[in-house]
Amino acid sequence: MEIEEQTWELRLYIAGKTPKSVTALSNLKKYCEEHLEGRYKIEVIDLLLQPQLAEGDQIFAVPTLVRKVPVPIRKIIGDLSNEEKVLVGLNIVPLNKI
């Protein structure tokens, strides 16, 4: 599939090191390692440090995961605890199902 050739650009917006954001980040890393090994980039933006960036990606909830590439942009909010929902949300086809 085409998508698999691309490098995934993911951005995780957090507001400080809260338990939720820590959970979200660890969950995200786990899923990416599992399904997008070597083909992903994660950028973590702490809005407490860079509040001006919230407007650009229309962030209103944290943590929010934004899939910048591949387009279209998709957003997942929450601590990403539900793997299936995250995969569906990001449109990642689980490896074990191929």
Partner 1 sequence: MIDNLSHLQQTDKYKFPKTPTGIKGLDEITGGGLPTGRPALICGGPGCGKTLMSIEFIVRGATEYNEPGVFLAFEEKVEELEMNVASLGFDLKKLQADKLVKIDHVHIERSEIEETGEYDLDGLFIRLGYAIDSIGAKRVVLDTLENLFSGLSNQAILRSELRRLFHWLKEKGVTAIITGERGEKELTRQGLEEYVSDCVILLEHRVANQISTRLLRVVKYRGSMHGTNEYPFLIDEEGISVLPVTSLQLTSEVSSERLPSGIESLDKMLEGKGFYRGSSILVSGTAGTGKTSIAASFANKACTDNKKCVYLAFEESPKQIIRNMKSIGFDLGKHVDSGMLEFHAFRPTVYGLEMHLVAIHKIIRKFDPQVVILDPITNLVTVGSISEVKAMLIRLIDFLQEKQITVMFTALTLNSFVSEQTDEGVSSLVDAWLLVRDIELNGERNRGMYIMKSRGMKHSNQVREFVISDEGLNLVDVYLGPEGVIVGSAREAQMLHEETGLALRGHALNRKNREILRKKKVLEAQIANLQTEFESVEEELNKGYMEEELKKEIFERNRNEITNIRRGIDGSGESKNSPQSK
State the number of binding residues for partner 1 (CB under 8 A). 33
Asked if residue 63 has a cis previous peptide bond (ω within 30° of 0), the answer is yes
Q: Is 77 in the site for partner 1 (CB under 8 A)?
A: yes
Sign of the Cα torsion 49, 77, 58, 1 reads positive
Which CB, 6 or 47, lies closer to partner 1?
A: 47
The answer to whether 31 and 86 are in contact (CB under 8 A) is yes
Q: What does the binding site for partner 1 look like in residue numbers (CB under 8 A)?
A: 13, 15, 20, 23-24, 47-48, 51-52, 54-55, 58-64, 72-82, 85-86, 88-89
